[in-house]
Amino acid sequence: MALLENLVFVFVAGFITALATGVGALPFFFFEEISDRWNVFLWGLASGIMVSASVFGLLSEGLAEGTLRDVVPGAVAGVLLVVVSHHLISGAEVNPREYEAADFKKLVLILGILTVHSFPEGVAVGVSFADLGLEGGTQVLGFTVPLLAVFMTVAISIHNVPEGTAIAIPLRAMGVSNWKMVWWAVFSSLPQPIGAVLAFYFVRIAREFLPFGFGFAAGAMIFLVVSEFVPEALETGSKLPGKGRRELTSGLLVGVLLMVPLAAV
């Protein structure tokens, strides 16, 4: 029963991070569009948060639990997961207007694309809850929650807000309604609570793989930043003065600074 309760708690934590993605679509209730300058800044913000959470949280904790020999193979495996997943779905284009009428094959394709982007973040949340219910944490709703889990849940939630905005921008251009933009933003992150539960269960029953799990989550997230977030930001800012590098750098610095107080907890 205790394990089931823990699984439900971790799922809720993962679902909160998914809901945070919907918050990123809320500005469109008040503004018609968001400038390229702000869009680049938001990509930089998300990147800074992801990298900081990976380095200050996951890699640091992985090295505390094991050695480089344990963590590095996990990081490599995380990178390979993203690379292979991208290869399998490369060239696929998804029109959000077709979601509701999608046939089974298209639905599988859509879910596959969303999983590539969101699943590693869910894994990061799940691994951080490895010590849930054990000594040394803080009390949340009657559960003893590791400080790392609080750190990662807050970090991924903050990161998901600008990601939700980035998802909403093309949807607005397609004429999708405000509430549907919120729904699709949340939907894009639904793999996160699933990944969180699976990762938590795995490291709980096979604790010797915990350092590997920390490395896996960190490797996948850092590679997503390098291979997708930064290139997307630079492409969006290509017509700005300095090609958007100033806005990207500013966002990165703000993202890192936001995470420093959490890392010190």
Q: What is the token pair recorded at 227?
A: 């291979």
Beta-bridged to residue 139, according to DSSP, are 144
pTM value? Answer: 0.78
Q: Return the amino acid letter for 57.
A: G
| Contact assessment for residue 208 and residue 222, using Cβ atoms and an 8 Å cutoff | no
d(CA 137, CA 146) in angstroms, rounded, equals 4
Other residues' Cβ atoms within 10 Å of the Cβ of residue 183: 16
Q: How far is CA 151 from the centre of its chain?
A: 13
Greatest CA span in the chain, whole angstroms? 58
Please report the pLDDT score of residue 9 as a whole number: 92
Please report the pLDDT score of residue 76 as a whole number: 94
d(CA 164, CA 242) in angstroms, rounded, equals 26
Residue 100's pLDDT band, with cuts at 50, 70 and 90, is: very low
pLDDT at 1 > cutoff 70: no
| Contact assessment for residue 122 and residue 158, using Cβ atoms and an 8 Å cutoff | no
Task: Tell me what the mean pLDDT of segment 201-228 comes to.
Answer: 87
Q: Out of 58-62, 100-104, 131-135, 211-215, which region has the weakest mean confidence (pLDDT)?
A: 100-104
